[in-house]
Amino acid sequence: MLDNDYKIPSHVAIILDGNGRWATKRGLKRSMGHKEGFETLKNISNYIFSKGVKILSVFAFSTENFKRDKEEVDYLMNLFIKNFKKLINKKNDAKIVFSGRRDNLSKEILDAIEETEEKTKNNKSHIFNICFNYGGRADIIDATKKIVDDCQKGKLDINNLTEDVYTQYLYNGIPDIDLLIRTSGEVRISNFMLYQAAYAEMYFPSTLFPDFSNDDFDLALDVYNKRNRRFGGINYEKKNN
């Protein structure tokens, strides 16, 4: 499907799921799935930006993922410490930001996060939003606390609190999602970007994340283009984005 009406979603979000199953299926340790998943993330993010997507959000580690065995959590943290920098890519001009709570994280991971943000802060073409130690409810609660604080300080009049203003108080002020993809066949959002997903088109391919290819993303775009986004209205014409 390639015509002038072909719509590229402005904000794509991906719940990167299925790393563990990818490894277990091959008789490998779950950590090998995370390693392979990170390689996939490096490749697919460049491809997605090259298609013209402005914002890419990915769910890399949830607040609830701390419930996993220490060995798996430690492996993941080390993987991120060593590899966040590899997501910096001069060609795509993406500003990398991290959304999530910063408490509960080691100094090494905080340093890796801050270094990556600092190195890309002047990039303008795209935003690469990495949700890390992230929970959608925590995002809403933390925004609400900042709003109450600003009201008490007289910086915000509560009567001026609109949905758009609320968005600006969420982590990094990331706006609504147009296309939300969750790999691995699970059909739930597991506390991901609850506020921003209000009118997202959702797509749940069965592909395990390490196997998610450029062709799989093209297929997701084709599915998105067949959807009719009405936002509660009665416009039956195909009109995305």
Q: Mind telling me the catalytic residues?
A: 17, 65
Residue among 9, 11, 18, 100 that touches ligand IPE (CB under 6 A) = 18
Q: With CB under 5 A as the contact rule, which of the stretches 15-23, 151-159, 172-180, 232-240 interacts with Mg ion?
A: 15-23
The site for ligand IPE, by CB under 6 A, has a size of 17
Asked if residue 132 binds ligand IPE (CB under 6 A), the reply is: no
Cα(206)–Cα(209) distance, rounded to whole angstroms? 9
Cα(13)–Cα(220) distance, rounded to whole angstroms? 12
**In terms of CB distance, is 60 or 174 closer to ligand IPE?**
60
Asked if residue 17 binds Mg ion (CB under 5 A), the reply is: yes
Q: Which of 126, 114, 130, 156 is nearest to 54 (CA)?
A: 126
What's at 191, amino acid-wise? N
Q: With CB under 5 A as the contact rule, which of the stretches 17-25, 94-102, 158-166, 171-179 interacts with Mg ion?
A: 17-25
Q: Are the C-beta atoms of residues 241 and 7 closer than 8 Å to each other?
A: yes
Tokens of 130: 């990495």
Which single residue brings its beta carbon nearest to ligand IPE? 20
Cα(91)–Cα(71) distance, rounded to whole angstroms? 35
Tokens of 201: 């088109």
Q: Are the C-beta atoms of residues 183 and 14 closer than 8 Å to each other?
A: yes
Asked if residue 114 binds ligand IPE (CB under 6 A), the reply is: no
Strand boundaries in the chain, DSSP class E: 11-15, 55-62, 94-99, 126-134, 179-182, 201-203
Q: With CB under 6 A as the contact rule, which of the stretches 43-51, 121-129, 183-191, 223-231 interacts with ligand IPE?
A: 183-191
Tokens of 204: 């749940």
Q: Which of 84, 88, 93, 58 is nearest to 209 (CA)?
A: 58
CB of 17 to Mg ion, least distance (A): 4
**In terms of CB distance, is 9 or 135 closer to ligand IPE?**
135
* Residue 65 binding result from ligand IPE, Mg ion, none, given CB thresholds of 5 to 8 Å by partner type: ligand IPE
Residues in contact with ligand IPE by CB under 6 A are 15-21, 59-62, 65, 76, 184, 186, 188, 190
Which residues contribute to the site for Mg ion (CB under 5 A)?
17
